Amino acid sequence: MDRIQIPATSRSPLVDFDFPAGRLLLRGESYPEDAAAFYGPLLQALRACLDEEGGPLIVDVALSYFNSSSAKALMNLFMPLEDAAEEGREVTIRWLYAQGDDTIAEAGEDFAADFSHARFEMVQETAA
């Protein structure tokens, strides 16, 4: 499984899915015109990665804004992760949010409710 790296744009986040290292990262803002087109290939790659045997997986999500289509796309990404964790894979999702950003923190808490097997950590980032 190759590493996927996509630079951030004003409407889409930085993507760094380092499958060999088991580290996945989304950082920035996410409101692409066509969220399905942006996240579709990422979801396929993630599914392919989870189908293979592998070590622990750490997924960092550090979004400062995402629209409802992106929220839906994130949910679609999280579901196979939760399923993999249920099947015994060690999966950790780290929800990174800026200190004082209640909206993103709350959204993280909402997503956390979907996980019972994967670890979902809320990580507050202090302003750089």
Which residue number, 25 or 107, has a Cβ lying nearer to other proteins? 107
Specify whether the CB–CB gap between 42 and 10 falls below 8 A: no
Least distance in angstroms from the C-beta of 42 to other proteins: 14
What number of chain residues touch other proteins (CB under 8 A)?
24
127 CB-contact burial (10 Å; exposed 0-12 / middle 13-18 / buried 19+): exposed
* CA distance linking residue 124 with residue 101, whole number of Å: 9
Using CB under 8 A as the binding rule, whether residue 14 contacts other proteins is answered as no
Closest approach, Cβ 105 to other proteins, in A, equals 9
CB-wise, 18 or 82, nearer to other proteins?
Answer: 82
Cα distance between residue 40 and residue 3, in whole Å? 16
Question: What letter does residue 11 receive in the DSSP assignment?
Answer: S
The yes or no reply on residue 104 touching other proteins (CB under 8 A) is: yes
* Piece of 15-23, 29-37, 54-62, 87-95 that binds other proteins (CB under 8 A): 29-37
